[in-house]
Homo-oligomer: A and B are copies of this chain.
């Protein structure tokens, strides 16, 4: 039996373009004498459709799309993810389904049992969990047809009481198909391969896994669809960060033959910085393309964050589409300007220089009568950052650019940034990358030649909002800060545990307090491209008004 895997980049709610992509793959597969083609979870609508699912109109369009795809399924069958209506009156009105299309119509509907509802997932918000476990009979084989989370209930303390694979295994399936919407993090592919291999070995059957690829605002899907044989070996792995399509011969009862017809898993194993780099480039590119924009603008300070952001954007959109704006003030050091110019020139990005002093002084003229003689402090620092934002947004609005935010995760965590100032932007590129990892990214970008000036990498970080200011005046050194943040944010460790690991108690207390007291700021930041298992954004939901560790 010949089976095709279609790994596509969908647009949420764009039924016409999603359908066109799907039909294109169905035709291609049929031309290659394929019997079955497999698409990802909720491919019809794109993932995640979020509250669009609450609109009857949206569900109607899903059905219409499904039906018009079914018409094309003659001489070939397709498994495709779609929301379907729950025929029962009790329970939520929808299922998250894998629909089998064949002979021009919907042949069967298999529903998802385990609905992830942690981190960025909200599936129990919309879907009723399936409780009826049946293998799908297709020609002479029995398929354990599952949807993403359904095969993840593993380990000694499983998250769900039910275990769909145990139920299906009792029906002796020949093959496990898992259609997924499994977003990227820098550690996800390793974990995912572990789960897929465990399932293959435990149940002694091959696994066909089809994932999404592409960015949906902050969520990045890396693809990496694959086939694993019953021994747990990856015998076919589709592209990371790009659409892909593959047909292979499945001779179920001669699994040793499988390897012959397929690409071996001999691909390069990328390091963390490379993974994050590629994910962010895709994230920027897809954000702009799907929003219908092509041009980005950003403030280039000469520091490392805006330098890395410019390099990534230049890669994602093309250098001529990224406008760097140097916005020096009285507190900008000479090297800031030269480092920034050098970078823009290395990348061949256009750049403007606008001194903010004139605007800043005018606003201060208006404010000084009301400032009651209080000396220069955080207020004036913020005003400088906000004047920059007004200038950048003015250029963006006038000339048709989208502003890129350049804040990193360490800053976002402790609130080291000005709301409505440097925290502005349509999308945050580095908001899920700790400062220490931003350096790794810079080194990766410079792997072949010095694109980012070394001086931007080696000089002490500074916001340059007052004379001689350095980040280390208000924050511990980033290697220490980032370790504490990682323990608190990613690992959800409390203060006692972090202190027991050897960190200074008063520092830990101060850092955790900063994180918790700045929820209000993070609430108003742009969506952050997610590359870690715990990013700021929809995957981390904290009270704003609260008094815990603060």
- With contacts A91-B160, A494-B58 known, is A545 near B290, CB below 8 A? yes
Cβ contacts under 8 Å, A424 to chain B:
420
A134 within 8 A of B: no
Instruction: Please indicate which of the listed interface residues A51, A89, A215, A287 has the most CB atoms of chain B within 10 Å of its own CB.
Output: A51
A495 within 8 A of B: yes
Instruction: Please indicate which of the listed interface residues A50, A55, A156, A546 has the most CB atoms of chain B within 10 Å of its own CB.
Output: A546
Question: Which of B88, B371, B492, B544 touches A54 (beta carbons < 8 Å)?
Answer: B492
The answer on a CB contact under 8 Å between A541 and B122 is: yes
Q: How many copies make up the complex?
A: 2
Chain A 128-144, CB-CB to B under 8 Å as 1, else 0, gives 10000000000000000
- Nearest CB of B to A143, in Å: 26
The answer on a CB contact under 8 Å between B355 and A11 is: no
* Interface of chain A residues 496 through 536 with chain B (CB within 8 A): 496-497, 520, 523-527
A470 within 8 A of B: no
Q: Which residue of B lies closest to A128 (CB)?
A: B161
Question: Which of B128, B362, B525, B548 touches A359 (beta carbons < 8 Å)?
Answer: B362
A370 within 8 A of B: yes
Question: Which of B55, B420, B496, B543 touches A494 (beta carbons < 8 Å)?
Answer: B55
Question: Which of B48, B363, B545 touches A12 (beta carbons < 8 Å)?
Answer: B545
A383 within 8 A of B: yes
The answer on a CB contact under 8 Å between B52 and A542 is: yes
The answer on a CB contact under 8 Å between B393 and A420 is: yes
Cβ contacts under 8 Å, A354 to chain B:
366-367, 370
Which of A's residues lie within 8 Å of B, judged by CB? 11-14, 17, 46, 48-52, 54-58, 60, 88-93, 117-118, 122, 124-125, 128, 156-161, 215-217, 286-287, 290-291, 352, 354-356, 358-359, 361-363, 365-367, 370-372, 374, 377-379, 382-383, 386-387, 389-391, 393-395, 397-399, 419-420, 424, 426, 492-497, 520, 523-527, 538, 540-550
